[in-house]
Structure 1
Amino acid sequence: MDRNTFTESLTKEGFPDTLLVTREANGEVDVHTHPFESKALILEGEMSIRVGEEERAYRAGDVFHLPANEPHSERYGPNGVTFLVGRKV
Structure 2
Amino acid sequence: MDRAEFVAMLEREGFREIVTVEREPHNVLGVHTHPFEARALITLGELRLVTGEDEQLCRVGDQFHLAAHTPHSESCGAEGVHYLVGRKPG
Question: Is this a same-fold pair by TM over 0.5?
Answer: yes
Relative to the length of structure 2, the TM-score reads 0.97
Residue 45 of structure 1 and its aligned partner are, at CA, apart by: 0.5
Aligned counterparts, 1:1-89, within 5 A? 1-89=1-89
Any gaps of 5 or more consecutive residues in structure 2?
Answer: none
Query: 2 CA distance for matches of 1:73 and 1:62?
Result: 18
What amino acid is the match of 1:40? A
Counterpart Cα distance in 2 of 1:87 and 1:51: 18
| SS of residue paired to 2:4 | helix
Q: Structure 2 CA distance, aligned partners of 1:83 and 1:41? A: 5
| Structure 2 Cα separation of the partners of residues 59 and 26 of structure 1 | 14
Overall identity of the aligned pairs, in %: 51
Distance, in Å, in 2 between the alignment partners of 1:85 and 1:6 is 9
- State how far apart, in whole Å, the 1-side matches of 2:54 and 2:66 are: 13
Aligned-residue Cα RMSD (Å) equals 0.5
Quick one: distance in 2 between partners of 1:59 and 1:5? Answer: 18
Q: Residue deviations 1:31-76, cap 9 Å, x none?
A: 0000000000000100100000111100110110000000000011
Q: Structure 1: which 4+ aligned runs deviate by more than 4 Å?
A: none
Q: What is the total number of aligned residue pairs between the two structures?
A: 89
- The alpha carbon displacement at 1:86 in A equals 0.4
- Give how far 1:80 is off: 0.2
Question: What is the TM-score with the length of structure 1 in the denominator?
Answer: 0.98
SS at match of 1:9: helix
